[in-house]
Structure 1
Amino acid sequence: MERINQWMAWLDEQVADPVMIELGFATLMGLAIFALLVALVLLIIGLSDPLRRRLRGLEAHAEVAAAGHGSGTSGGIKASPSVAGGLDHWLGPMGEKLVPSEEEKQHKLAQRLRRAGKRSPGAVNVFYGARLALTVLPALVVMAVLVPLTRLPISTALLVMMAVAIVGYVLPSFWLDQQFNKRTRLLRRGLPDALDLLVVCTEAGLGLAAGIQRVSHELAVSHPELSDELNLFGLQTRAGMDHRSALRDLEERTGVEDIRGLVTTLLQSMRFGTSIAATLRIYASELRDKRTQEAEEKAAKVSTKMLFPLIFCVFPSFFVVALGPPLLGAMEALARAGQ
């Protein structure tokens, strides 16, 4: 604790010294300019490398071909815009040098991107490139525009610049979490309809892969996210992947608890040789009961959540209207009695 106090006292002395403030500001400006120059150099190197340009062109052609093949087999499903589009040519080369060398960190980030619906091969590079750009560029804009126009003190300008840089660094991860939560909600919303259609297809005599392909075709308009995942499952099985591996990959790339339960149920049905149609019907009934219980739970919480707006918004105005005139009359009576 004593060291912390000494360090804080030393920091206060340095902040009070105008020469140290100017020196710190010049140092931070130099670091920011150096980071911007490094980012520009990485961008130029990435754009001017003919091998990388050739690889990006091949990836783009492969994605277009896969999207066209998927739309032709799933009844007009349109491919979602790829992360490796225009942003990849600018942010990818900058972020390529920032990707951590540990495979575990790369795998975790790639898994988060897949679960958010970003399956491009260069999505990891684009993520780190966006993080670098949002960390450096807004801070430079604040330094170059806000400080001269507002004439803020040097210490305040440094704090604002650091806050902007921290927000820019955290913003890509926050956006990725929001995309994952949004996609999870959309997948959970479309799963009951998909299960009902899949039960009908399997009871009509279709196999699991054919039934899932048919369901992906039917859900292309109402639930495009789930339709895209099911269509990818059909493409994997037609490419030679066995059903168990394709189901495991579906569970891994979505990260939705309900889909994980569905995959586990189907794998157990395949293992023990039970009827897939009966298994799907039972799971659909259980999922419907689970959704009903969740709705009842949320409805039961409404009365408790309504207490806060009632206490802080409704009751004060009610007390003013109900008790205001009597209080004014009592105050007037006390004033007269005092006179």
Structure 2
Amino acid sequence: MQAIIDLLNNYLSDESTLKWTVVVLVGGVIFILALGISVIVMGVTNPVRRRLGMVNQKEEAPKGALALRISTAMGPLAAFVLPKEELERNKIKHDLYKAGFRTPQAMQIFYAMKAVLAVSLASIVLLASPFLPNIDTQTLMMYAAMAGAVGLLLPNYVLSKALERQMRLLRNAFPDALDLLVVCVESGLGLGPALQRVADEISVSHPELALDLSTVNAEMRAGVQREKALRNLADRTGLPDIRGLVALLVQSMRFGTSVADALRIYSEEFRDKRMQAAEEQAAKIGTKMIFPLVLFMFPVFFVVAVGPAALRIIDAFKSL
């Protein structure tokens, strides 16, 4: 116990550390207060808006209901940073959908978080001004504006990383799914049941692609045309390999050719394509190894090989 007390005393005796601790704590409190006030004032205290949101978006799942409540509360806050151009809004909505954020309220939550982060980071910089006595007002406002800009851009960065992760997961899952789909179709299953069987088989190892394939089968069973359901799959994933598969299946169904033969040919071509990509990556290794060799390995080699001889030469010159 005494050691803990001594540690706290040493920590509190450091004035600089104490100041920045206060800044971090105050910034965290401001972030929580901004988020809480936006939820309470703009959502909970407005029963008309809450009821309209519940009527317009009927989500029975608990996750969907939570997203609906958050979006209903943050709707006015997101309106301040929503882009006016319809093209940009559609692009962000499409990126959110491809990244796995597929609730109808994802875009509102995304822009609301941009507003909250911008205000919170700018407030932290302004609150840190008493601990920076040598800074003038103009520089402080510039730093606050930069912090606000970081808050606005941070969700875009997170979205890009989530999109890259989703694309990588789908790219890794697609070869296994394609081979299973070929086996299922050649064994006599129709396209819809084959997609569902593949989704069931890969649901543990590749749940992201399994969900998309199950959605295709569900759309077909609900009455959506096969071509439309397959094109929706290509739009949801955005993976070029899946787009190629969808184009092949659509053409095969349109011209009446065998789906099994088309899948077999595409599987062989895709396997050759993966092999060529692997060979290309292997061929680049030699070039990529040049800089590590020159910067790290060659200097050490020269020190070990030439160092003793250089020391002997220096000693020989000193003895002259």
Query: TM-score, structure 1 length as denominator?
Result: 0.76
CA distance, structure 1, for counterparts of residue 114 and residue 283 of structure 2? 42
**Corresponding residue number in structure 1 for 2:157:** 174
CA distance, structure 2, for counterparts of residue 152 and residue 125 of structure 1? 40
Within the candidate set 127, 130, 135, 1:153 is matched to 135
Q: Deviations over 1:315-339 (max 9, x none)?
A: 11222222222223323333343xx
Within the candidate set 54, 58, 72, 2:51 is matched to 54
1:219 deviates by: 1.1
Change (3 A) 1:244 1:97: same
Q: Deviations over 1:111-150 (max 9, x none)?
A: 1111111111111111111111111101212321x33335
Q: Which protein has greater RCO, CA pairs closer than 8 Å, 6+ apart?
A: 1
1:206 deviates by: 1.5
Q: Which amino acid aligns with 1:237?
A: M
Within the candidate set 34, 40, 45, 2:42 is matched to 45
Deviates more, 1:282-291 or 1:96-105: 96-105
CA RMSD in angstroms comes to 2.9
CA distance, structure 1, for counterparts of residue 47 and residue 65 of structure 2? 22
Matched, 1:205 2:202: no
**Corresponding residue number in structure 1 for 2:199:** 216
Change (3 A) 1:198 1:152: farther
What SS does the aligned partner of 1:215 have? helix
Q: Which amino acid aligns with 1:179?
A: A
Within the candidate set 262, 280, 289, 1:297 is matched to 280
**Corresponding residue number in structure 2 for 1:332:** 315
% identity of equivalent residues:
43
1:228 deviates by: 0.7
1:164 deviates by: 2.3
Within the candidate set 211, 233, 239, 1:250 is matched to 233
What SS does the aligned partner of 1:296 have? helix
Query: TM-score, structure 2 length as denominator?
Result: 0.80
Change (3 A) 1:82 1:277: farther
Q: Which amino acid aligns with 2:235?
A: E
**Corresponding residue number in structure 1 for 2:270:** 287
1:89 deviates by: 5.4
Within the candidate set 131, 148, 163, 1:165 is matched to 148
Asked if the contact 1:43/1:91 (under 8 Å) is kept, the reply is no
| Residues 270-281 of structure 1 aligned to structure 2 (within 5 Å) | 270-281=253-264
**Corresponding residue number in structure 2 for 1:28:** none
Q: Deviations over 1:191-245 (max 9, x none)?
A: 1111111112112221111111111111110100000111111121122111111
Matched, 1:241 2:227: no
Asked if the contact 2:249/2:262 (under 8 Å) is kept, the reply is yes
**Corresponding residue number in structure 2 for 1:18:** none
What SS does the aligned partner of 1:142 have? helix
Q: Give the total of aligned pairs.
A: 288
Asked if the contact 1:220/1:227 (under 8 Å) is kept, the reply is yes
Uncovered stretches (5+) of structure 2, i.e. residues with no partner: 1-29
1:82 deviates by: 8.7
**Corresponding residue number in structure 2 for 1:116:** 99
Asked if the contact 1:46/1:94 (under 8 Å) is kept, the reply is no
Uncovered stretches (5+) of structure 1, i.e. residues with no partner: 1-32, 66-79
CA distance, structure 2, for counterparts of residue 151 and residue 324 of structure 1? 52
**Corresponding residue number in structure 2 for 1:322:** 305
Asked if the contact 2:227/2:250 (under 8 Å) is kept, the reply is yes
Q: Which amino acid aligns with 1:148?
A: P
Asked if the contact 1:93/1:125 (under 8 Å) is kept, the reply is no
1:304 deviates by: 1.3
1:101 deviates by: 3.4
